[in-house]
Structure 1
Amino acid sequence: MESFFKLENINKTFGTHRAVYDVSLNVNKGEVFSLLGPSGCGKTTMLRVAAGFEEPESGKVFLDGKDISSLPPNKRKINTVFQNYALFPHLNIYDNIAFGPRIAKIPESEIEKRVKNMLELIRLEEHAFKRPDQISGGQKQRVAIARALINRPSLLLLDEPLAALDLKLRQHMLLELDRIHDEVGITFIYVTHDQTEAMSLSDRIAVMNKGRIEQIGTPAEIYESPRTKFVAEFIGDTNFFEGKVVERLDGEYCKIDLFGFGEFAFFNESRLDVGANVTISMRPEKFRVYMERPADSAASGMNLIKAKVVDIVYQGAQTNYWVIAGDKRICVRQQHNRCYLDLRQPTWNDEVWIAWHKDDVNMLAGVSQNGES
């Protein structure tokens, strides 16, 4: 896929605070690319540099193969949708959407056609002559998107666009954003601190931490194969185990001494040698919970340990169990693919067996407890 938008070696400082450290990334034409990370990680600064609202100390910005680093925001063919909508309260919906083309002195007949198309795209035709205070938050956000798209930008930047909405409305707007993107086909860069939004909407995600990009990948790559402890912890839930490689096994596996548990076979994705320290990340849903010891665990490639249930959270589609094994508290997630009431479920203080397949782990080589290499 063609690289369409590029940030190259961007550095940005505010006073003594370095917001962005030598960041580079490539965004492909037509994709939804998310910048994801906690507050203060630099993602909004990156977006503002892309839009031209902030000037970096060093680095370049490219759009469709052209260096646009020195261009002001109104010359970049890039539009931004903000969290607070930024609609004009004294104008109706039609005139809010028409504002940009009118500033550009486009003929009114063409503006009317474009606004009609935008109203159809955001499904607000019947609300065209209402003011912003007469429509809902989700509808306001759709108007803000239409106002940004009507000038036909090459790139649309979305800065935490759903943060002000409640959960149900956010879920609905994610579907609407996906539909709008599919219909207009332009490139989106989406900034959010919400992993669910990024995972649901994005083709690729850049996970940011303290002004740097920790990993870029598809949602599945980021979730299933995090490269750092920060990514593993920030995206979804996980359990960490410290250990040391004690034996290389046949093929692509090794035996690891998990401190406090014993020795277990793991897929050696990092090709580590004997003696290497390692942190293992295991997602709660990769575990299976058994009331009795399963007879065929070794033959099926499963590792197995005995544990005690100490906490339970029922969530309808799934139950989270916290168990103690050795001196380790582990989160185990059981999906309810059968009727929950049909089978006896583990309860508090039950002795259970938890198992995981030797392939269903992620290996973070040389990572200590504090996440540093």
Structure 2
Amino acid sequence: MTFEPLGSDFFGYENLLRPEEKAALARIRDYLESDVRPVVNGCWERAEFPTEIIKPLGALGAYSFGWEETRPFENSAVFRGFVALELARVDASVATFVGVQNGLAAGSIAACGSATQRAHWLPRLASGDIVGAFALTEPLSGSDSAQGLRTTATRDGDSWVLNGAKRWIGNATFSDITIVWAKDTADGAVKGFIVPTDTAGYTATKIEGKISLRSVQNADITLENVRVSEQNRLQEANSFRDTARVLRFTRAEVSWAAVGLAMGAYEAAAAYAAERVQFGKPIGGHQLVQDLLVKSLGNITASLGMVVRVSQMLDEGTQRDEHSALAKSYTTSRMRETVAWCRELFGGNGIVLDYDIARFFSDAEAIYSYEGTQEMNTLIVGRSITGLAAFV
């Protein structure tokens, strides 16, 4: 399969990829264009997730590239970023599903699980045979999860008993396992648990009425005396620092998804500018429309350069929290600006799903907010600059 460079990658960052990485990316891109793009607007409108794509994406390696136990070939963090970008430039809801399945659920087990846990769970998640979710955020705890976690875990012999509530948990209405983070009542430390969703006392209820990422099945979760065996406790998760290791990885990939979403909006706008005729010629021939397109491409190009470097630092072992926080803060801000310009170019047609841009415009709001809000990521970087914490 021939790898065709994206016109929206104006400086050609894809040329950093090795031939086998380009080939794998081309296979994913082809599947997304042929099987995913045609169904996503309908799913978004109905607030449904296209579950039929889960196993094909697994067969393409979308959930497995990052983990030693499952990766089909040696690959770079830049390549894995481009996978997130490809998903988001077609549909941010699908990108979010993969981010939860691979980055958060599998990522928690890869980073904090024992060798036995990794060998048991990662291949099943990588193939799409099971679906994973990640439950950290709570009704009363979001940005302050490090200190404000209210869900509790109490040791009882060879088991743990979990009680509490979680909110905004992606994939949770149909997940087979959920990674639940809870505070140990004995020592106050945050610990992680692999919770099969058919466990007694575990309930997931879909959150209705969303205006963003409508295809993502977010849920409220209640945990009422949910009993989990010690063997399902993540053996290397002993404090919130371990949770943060997972989030550092996923925050960088959300930055890539932000670039991908902006690319999708820009590509839709550029195509529309070429076909929409007003005043006797395509609107792309008007100066103000070209200005919107050029500003959008500038944002995309600058953001892509940033996320490429952050992923290179991950491969080098030099990436720190403030690096991924700056990437997430900057790229999502530029994404939000870009999709607004692109929606503007469509005029009234920009508020209907027919042209994709309305979906990109709405979905940008969720990408802007999750995996650390703009404000929290700013404070992480600000602490690095000044040496002073300004969180409270």
TM-score, normalization: structure 1? 0.26
Q: Which has more helix, going by share of residues?
A: 2
TM-score, normalization: structure 2? 0.25
* Bigger Rg over Cα: 1
Q: Name the structure, 1 or 2, with higher relative contact order (CA <8 Å, separation 6+).
A: 2
Q: Which has more strand, going by share of residues?
A: 1
